[in-house]
Amino acid sequence: MKRHAPSTERNREPLLAVLREVLPASGTLLEIASGTGEHAVFFARAFPHLTWQPTDVEPESLASIASWRAGESLPNLLPPLTLDASSDTWPVSTADAILNVNMIHISPWAACQGLMRGAGRVLVPGGCLVLYGAYFVEGRETAPSNLAFDASLRERNPAWGVRQLGDVTAEAARHGLERERVVDMPSNNLALVFRKRPGR
């Protein structure tokens, strides 16, 4: 039941450094597409004053998250909830921050659109949305590894693929989320930070 993703050990420390700069001192963080649950355990331990709410749409992932959680004594790590990012029915009505790692490229574009709609709806004004993954950046030479990754994704599912940073940013803006920073990460990935505009 407890699954393991090697990439989590490679990216969690660099991502932690970004999160330390942008997450609120307290409140609820909604993690969308928590996958194995390893990130949830690691980050809940690193941010004991944040209530960490993991979610996923896949039953196997929900079972893995629950298994990782059961092996820890982290009072701020909540039981996982079922959440489909592309749906307009989320089990959480408000959040102070949202984290989404490595989902947008392995799901249809509708999942990104739903993520932005949902983030615009549930984030408190001034709350942040943090994304991590591979992106194509306009005006920047694309790493061969990202081109190969995109081809392999589209081979597995034509609706998947590495997204253009500009497209993701535009989708976020439609729902009151302004891009605050873009941070280069290991293996040609990026961390993106969006902030919900006050008054939205």
Rounded to 5 degrees, what angle do the CA atoms 63, 68, 71 make? 125
Report the predicted TM-score, pTM, of the whole model to 2 decimal places. Answer: 0.94
CB 138 within 8 Å of CB 166: yes
In whole angstroms, how far apart are CA 70 and each of 1, 37, 47, 187? 11, 11, 18, 31
Kindly give the parts of the chain with pLDDT less than 70: 3-9, 199-200
Long-range residue pairs from 56-64, CB within 8 A, at least 24 positions apart, any chain: 56/80, 56/82, 56/83, 57/33, 57/82, 57/83, 57/84, 57/85, 60/3, 61/3, 61/33, 61/34, 61/35, 61/36, 61/37, 63/1, 64/1, 64/2, 64/3, 64/35, 64/36, 64/37
Question: What pLDDT was estimated at residue 198?
Answer: 83
**Percent of the chain with pLDDT strictly greater than 90:** 80
Question: What pLDDT was estimated at residue 140?
Answer: 80
Domains of the chain: 6-179 (3.40.50.150)
Q: How many residues does the chain have?
A: 200
Question: What pLDDT was estimated at residue 141?
Answer: 76
Amino acid in position 181: R
Distance of alpha carbon 144 from alpha carbon 192, whole angstroms: 21
Question: What pLDDT was estimated at residue 100?
Answer: 97
Distance of alpha carbon 181 from alpha carbon 117, whole angstroms: 20
Question: What pLDDT was estimated at residue 194?
Answer: 98
Question: What pLDDT was estimated at residue 121?
Answer: 97
